[in-house]
Amino acid sequence: MGETDIVVMGLDEYESLLGARRQAGAQASRIKVLRLQLDQAQACLAAIEELVRAGHTVGDGCAQDCLGCAVTAALSASHVQRDRADG
């Protein structure tokens, strides 16, 4: 019929196991929070990229020190780096 496996361990080992399980649970929670924060940051960056790109293209007649052009150029470079990493 229904067999059950039994593990025998001392009290110290059992307490150590419980502590390890709590630590693993806490780490999993932190990872979930960090993943959520990362997703939110990526969505925010994508929205910022759209706003900057909509208003500027590099070399559209702006001065060399135009902040919008500098940000657009930096974002373009980051896309190239991400595409290489993904590819």
Give the Cα separation of 42 and 66 in Å (integer).
24
CA distances from 26 to 15, 32, 79, 80 (A): 17, 10, 34, 36
- Indicate the pLDDT class of residue 8, thresholds 50, 70 and 90: very high
Residue of higher predicted confidence among 2 and 10: 10
How confident is the model at residue 11, as a pLDDT? 94
Among 2-6, 7-11, 24-28, 67-71, whose mean pLDDT is lowest? 67-71
**Residue 70 predicted with pLDDT over 60:** yes
Give the Cα separation of 41 and 47 in Å (integer).
10
Q: At what angle do helices 11-55 and 67-86 cross, to 10 degrees?
A: 130
Residue of higher predicted confidence among 61 and 66: 66
Tell the residue number behind the tokens 């924060």, with chain if given. Answer: 37
Measured between alpha carbons, how far apart are the two ends of the chain, in Å?
Answer: 53
